[in-house]
């Protein structure tokens, strides 16, 4: 039997989870609302709030799982990538806990963990599969050969898809994080109302900075003609922007899947919570006779369950970290 405590603190969610023999028994996520007033995550504030939330989050995760802290076999934690000050809180907590209880440590790559969230529950992909990982900081097409054998075959050369969502919402005057709000308004709008350009980038790489600029100019020009333009057209603007981002993401994904001859396609990361993207992937897979894997909502955005499940598979391999381990703001795999 293996009882893994998972800790996630890479950005602005403090999260703890308990995984017993590959089954997630709890997943406590403490969100940080303090950043809303600033229109984005303030790293200094994020690490302070992690410091306040980490112990209560772990206590609640143990309580929800009905697991005693003395029964834990290993502590898995996000080593990177992420905000250094935020990571330090989780890494230091994990090291202190492991030292006090004489437990092995398991270091986890946050981006790999987003993908391994697909191994929570019954609908698991089989290797090899392709995963489109779309978050606030990353946009990657990953060829997943095994639990920890992953190859990035395409990625953004500038902004991430989540960043494009968040920046659009900022231009529209919506609060941070904007992705969920774009999603909400898009459901009520006409996605063909406005056309935004599709970047011409070779291979499987992405670019979102040109799109962001064209949205900025589009809004600026229309507001100059009609100061109430945003208010009057918010659903149509959100639906049109979301459609463009989704088609950019899925066109490259389709190209990569066809070239690799892969028939199992997964979504991961915060933007995989987006309704348009989830529906779009299902449509794409049905059209091509592929199987789609879309994470449950609570495993899309940052959470410790994905760290705990990744920790479980590393525990089975017997791969542990030493007490000298330090976080990494950048952490390729
Ligand atoms: O994976 P994640 O929680 O954190 C990072 O590792 O970055 O992803 C956060 C990103 C944010 O950009 C947020 O706006 C976006 O995911 N997001 C969404 C939705 N929910 C979260 N974007 C579009 N639609 C959503 N429903
Ligand atoms: Zn993430």
**Ligand 2 centroid – CA 268 distance (Å):** 9
Alpha-carbon distance of 137 to 59, in angstroms, equals 29
Q: Helices (DSSP H) in the chain: which residue ranges?
A: 43-65, 84-101, 110-116, 161-171, 179-186, 209-225, 229-260, 275-288, 305-317
Mutate which of 162, 269, 274 for ligand 1? The one with the most ligand atoms within 8 Å of its CB, which is 162
The predicted model scores a pTM of 0.95
Tell me, what's the pLDDT at 38? 86
Give the separation between CA 207 and CA 199, rounded to whole angstroms.
7
Vertex 305, ends 8 and 94: CA angle to 5°? 40
Q: What is the dihedral of CA 160, 332, 130, 132, to 10 degrees?
A: -10
Centroid of ligand 2 to alpha carbon of 137 (angstroms): 8
What is the CA(11)–ligand 1 centre distance, in A? 11
Q: What is the pLDDT of residues 211-262, one digit of tens each?
A: 999 999 999 999 999 999 999 999 999 999 999 999 999 999 999 999 999 9
CATH superfamily, domain 3-116+299-317, is ATPase, nucleotide binding domain (3.30.420.40)
- Pick from 12, 27, 179, 238 the residue to mutate for probing ligand 1's pocket: most ligand atoms within 8 Å of its CB: 179
Instruction: Evaluate if residue 36 carries a pLDDT over 90.
Output: no
Answer yes or no: same fold for 3-116+299-317 and 124-294: yes
Give SS3 for 326. coil
Q: Report, in angstroms and rounded to the nearest whole number, the Rg of the chain calculated over CA atoms.
A: 20
Q: At 312, is the secondary structure helix, strand, or coil?
A: helix
pLDDT at position 39 over 90: no
Distance between alpha carbon 282 and the CA centroid of its chain, in Å? 19
pLDDT per residue as tens digits for the range 174-188:
998 899 999 999 999
Residues 102-116, mean pLDDT to the nearest whole number: 98
Could you tell me the residue ranges of all domains in the chain?
3-116+299-317, 124-294
CATH of domain 124-294: 3.30.420.40
Q: Ligand 2 centroid to 229 CA: how many Å?
A: 33
């Amino acid at each position: 039997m293996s009882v893994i405590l998972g800790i996630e603190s890479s950005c602005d969610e403090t999260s703890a989870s308990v995984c017993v023999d590959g089954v997630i028994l709890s997943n406590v996520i403490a969100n940080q609302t303090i950043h809303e007033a600033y229109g984005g995550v303030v790293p200094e504030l994020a690490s302070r709030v992690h410091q306040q939330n980490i112990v209560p989050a772990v206590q609640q995760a143990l309580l929800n799982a009905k697991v005693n802290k003395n029964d834990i076999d290993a502590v898995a934690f996000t080593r990177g990538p992420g905000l250094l000050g935020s990571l330090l809180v989780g890494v230091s907590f994990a090291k202190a806990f492991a030292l006090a209880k004489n437990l092995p440590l398991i270091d986890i790559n946050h981006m790999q963990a987003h993908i391994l969230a697909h191994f929570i529950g019954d609908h698991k992909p089989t290797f090899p599969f392709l995963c489109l990982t779309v978050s606030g900081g990353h946009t990657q097409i990953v060829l997943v050969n095994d639990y920890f054998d992953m190859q990035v075959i395409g990625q953004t050369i500038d902004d991430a898809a989540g960043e494009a969502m968040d920046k659009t919402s900022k231009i529209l005057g919506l609060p941070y994080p904007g992705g969920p709000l774009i999603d909400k308004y898009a459901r009520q709008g006409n996605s063909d109302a406005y056309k935004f350009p599709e970047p011409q980038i070779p291979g499987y790489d992405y670019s979102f900075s040109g799109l962001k600029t064209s949205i900025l100019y589009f809004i600026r020009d229309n507001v100059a003609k009609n100061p109430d333009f945003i208010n009057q057209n918010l659903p149509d603007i959100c639906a049109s922007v979301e459609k463009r981002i989704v088609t950019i993401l899925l066109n490259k994904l389709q190209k990569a899947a066809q070239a690799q001859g892969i028939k199992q396609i997964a979504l991961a990361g915060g933007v995989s919570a987006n309704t348009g993207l989830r529906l779009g992937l299902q449509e794409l897979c049905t059209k091509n006779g592929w199987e789609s894997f879309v994470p449950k909502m609570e495993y899309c955005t940052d959470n410790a369950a994905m760290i705990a499940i990744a920790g479980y598979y590393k525990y089975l391999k017997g791969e542990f970290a030493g007490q000298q381990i330090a976080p990494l703001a950048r952490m390729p795999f």
